[in-house]
A and B are shown apart, each in its own frame.
Chain A
């Protein structure tokens, strides 16, 4: 018994201590900071109560960032899942080179964000980019003059690229789940005369429900904290129209041109972000709770 305790301590403590000191405690500590007005490291903190939070909900830039983030979460999420499902069904429809297609569709996920944003900068470039050149060739004037990276469009242009990357991740997830559905189910359904859509609705979705619900949770967490891709996509000074909550937090806390940082305010943004994650994950768990089908 004694050796067992020693084993547990020796094996579990190092990871737990690092995790506690550099993850869990800072997370709790963040709540404390969010009640202060604090304009820089080494400067005095002023207790501020909930003023940061009150200001946050009146801050038009914060509202815009929140709107953008929720747009990525919902509209981006639906698109990613629809495409991932479509491609999964196609890859599994008996075509040759299943593993090749899966590997290709997943590929953007292993490439550095900066590499991807540089590339999309060339795709969207108004003077020599592939899209505008293409529209020019087919003689579509309005299309040829369209600026994908203007203030009004940059967010949507970014989202398209982001979706292209993320589809691969969820394709892999769905494919793994689908591989475990016994082929006999589909054969039996075919004998009964079911069509593709009926099989998808009657077999695939119910048996994949576990994977789908894990997938939606993973997507929500990803979407709520998305920073790297939109931030690099918009180069040095991103227009506020592309802000996500995590971008606004970073810019308020660290990334301003003029070094007037608002550390308490930035942390309050982080707290709201965490609350969003908690609420949305709990909501999803409730909405998606179904009897798990054992097979």
Chain B
């Protein structure tokens, strides 16, 4: 404050204020549009959360009113009567395991493809990336045959295998570009110091790549947690349902049960883990999208 030069006179200040006002006024349309867009999203999320605490009767009496009494029993009902607690555990098990396996497979592969080029390595990279363009539904029937042959169709293991295989293209795409952007000096120094290839990877490259690995992990976790298409096709046993699929069945049963409040509680249960992850780590998540697409 005291460092402010004393020369600034009254007219100076007046001018500056004018500029500020003008600058602010120029931003009004931007704030208005961005504000409305953000508000809409925020409103929607708050509305779901509040409505999930109303009784179904209250909900239909006035959809936009605040809950009179907080009906936490909606959650108890959704979790235990509608089995969402079981689905939650199924999802947690299959998604977490898949994410670990995806990283364990793609990190070493991406390291080789971006740092240890050999004859044919570019072709292999291309084949991995081409997978991004292959629409999954094409694979459904052959995969059904393969999984049945291996006796893992309609099991969480089978679903996990598909989660891993179908996530490889994008993860390899992300991680090859991440490994490619790391500096070579440390790697070279380690080799000069006599480190073996394995030591270079595990002691030098892996720690350096940690931010990229975390991003890939979050990205895959959120995508797989939310997905229900593969679960819909490859799981028939209601006891094995993932949370997203369970919620899908719950919402389809609505016309018979009419338990909208319970459904909304289920919606909150499925949203919470990804929203928490996003609030804590949104920068990482966002950087994941751009990791492959925007060259550093």
Residues of A whose CB lies within 8 Å of any CB of B are 3-4, 7-8, 10-12, 14-16, 18-19, 21-27, 29-30, 33, 41, 86-87, 90-91, 93-95, 99-108, 110-115, 117-119, 122, 125, 128-130, 133, 169, 172-173, 176-177, 180, 210-211, 214-215, 218, 221, 224-225, 227-228, 231-232, 235-236, 246, 249-250, 253-254, 263, 266-267, 269-271, 273-274, 277-278, 281
CB within 8 Å for A23 and B226 given contacts A111-B275, A112-B274: no
Query: In the complex, what residues of B have CB within 8 A of residue A115's CB?
Result: 48, 247, 267, 270-271
Report the Cα distance A228→B226, complex, angstroms. Answer: 10
Majority SS of interface residues in chain A? helix
B93 interface residue, CB < 8 Å from A? no
B44 contacts A27, C-beta separation under 8 Å: no
A-B contact pairs, 26 of them (CB 8 A): A3-B197, A14-B105, A15-B105, A23-B131, A23-B139, A30-B138, A90-B34, A102-B286, A104-B37, A106-B286, A110-B226, A113-B244, A114-B228, A114-B270, A115-B48, A117-B251, A119-B267, A173-B294, A221-B132, A221-B135, A228-B229, A235-B255, A253-B141, A254-B233, A266-B141, A270-B137
**B295 contacts which of A90, A122, A210, A267 (Cβ < 8 Å)?**
A210
Given contacts A172-B286, A227-B229, A263-B141, contact A246 B112 (CB under 8 A): no
Q: Is the CB of A23 within 8 A of B166?
A: yes
Complex: A8 Cα to B227 Cα, angstroms = 33
Pairwise interchain contact B251-A232, C-beta atoms closer than 8 A: yes
Q: Which of A18, A118, A254 has the most CB of B within 10 A?
A: A118
Stretch at the interface among B73-81, B142-150, B180-188, B208-216: B142-150
A104-B140 contact in complex given A111-B274, A227-B229, C-beta closer than 8 Å: no
Q: Complex: how many Å from CA A220 to CA B165?
A: 22
With A19-B168, A119-B44, A122-B63: A173-B290 Cβ-Cβ less than 8 Å:
yes
CA distance A228 to B232 in the complex (A): 10
Contacts of A108 in B (CB 8 A): 41
- A10 and B112 alpha carbons, distance in the complex (Å): 10
The verdict on B285 contacting chain A, using a C-beta distance below 8 Å, is: yes
A27 engages B289 (CB within 8 Å): no
User: Residues of B contacting A23 with CB < 8 Å?
Assistant: 131, 134, 139, 165-166, 168-169
- Residues on A with C-beta less than 8 A from B198 are 7
B135 and A277 form a contact (CB under 8 A)? yes
Give min CB distance, B30 to chain A, whole Å. Answer: 4
Known: A19-B131, A113-B244. A128 touches B60 (CB 8 A): yes
Q: Which of B42, B148, B161, B244 contacts A104 (CB 8 A)?
A: B42
Chain B residues with CB under 8 Å of chain A are: 23, 27, 29-31, 33-34, 37-38, 41-42, 44-45, 47-48, 60, 63-64, 105-106, 108-109, 111-113, 116, 118, 124, 127-128, 131-146, 148, 161-162, 164-166, 168-169, 172, 196-198, 201, 222, 225-229, 232-233, 243-244, 247-248, 251-252, 254-255, 263-264, 267, 270-271, 274-275, 277-278, 282-283, 285-287, 289-290, 293-295
Beyond A7-B112, A114-B228, whether A169 also contacts B30 by CB under 8 A is no
Question: Is B143 in contact with A22, judged by CB distance below 8 angstroms?
Answer: yes
A4 and B116 form a contact (CB under 8 A): yes
A162 → B minimal CB distance (Å):
15
Question: Please, which residues of chain A bring their CB within 8 A of the CB of B144?
Answer: 41
* Given known contacts A33-B141, A110-B275, A91 and B226 CB-to-CB distance under 8 angstroms: no
Given contacts A12-B109, A235-B252, A254-B232, could you give 19 more A-B pairs where the C-beta distance is less than 8 Å?
Answer: A16-B109, A19-B169, A26-B139, A90-B30, A91-B30, A102-B286, A106-B286, A107-B278, A112-B270, A114-B228, A119-B267, A169-B289, A172-B286, A224-B135, A266-B141, A267-B141, A270-B139, A277-B134, A281-B133
Complexed CA–CA distance, A1 and B184 (Å): 20
Of B109, B162, B252, B263, chain A has the most CB atoms within 10 Å of the CB of: B109
Chain B positions within 8 Å of A273 at CB level: 135, 137-138
Complex interface: chain B residues within 8 A of A266 (CB): 140-141
Closest CB in chain B relative to A274 CB, distance in Å: 5
Give Cα distance in the complex from A122 to B254, angstroms: 13
B34 and A91 form a contact (CB under 8 A): yes
Complex CA–CA separation, A214 to B254 (angstroms)? 41
- The complex places the Cα of A103 from the Cα of B138 at a distance, in Å, of 34
Cα–Cα distance between A210 and B20 once the two chains are bound (Å): 36
User: Are B172 and A15 interface neighbours, CB within 8 A?
Assistant: yes
Asked if A278 contacts B34 (CB within 8 A), the reply is no
Chain A residues within an 8 Å CB radius of B23: 94
Contact B161 A22 (CB under 8 A): yes
Which listed residue (B105, B196, B282, B286) contacts A3, Cβ 8 A?
A: B196
Cα distance A241–B118 in the bound complex, in angstroms: 51
The 10 closest A-B pairs by CB, nearest first: A270-B138, A22-B165, A26-B142, A11-B108, A225-B135, A176-B290, A104-B38, A15-B109, A15-B105, A29-B142
Residues in chain B near residue A99, CB distance under 8 A: 283
Chain B residues, Cβ within 8 Å of A19: 127-128, 131, 165, 168-169
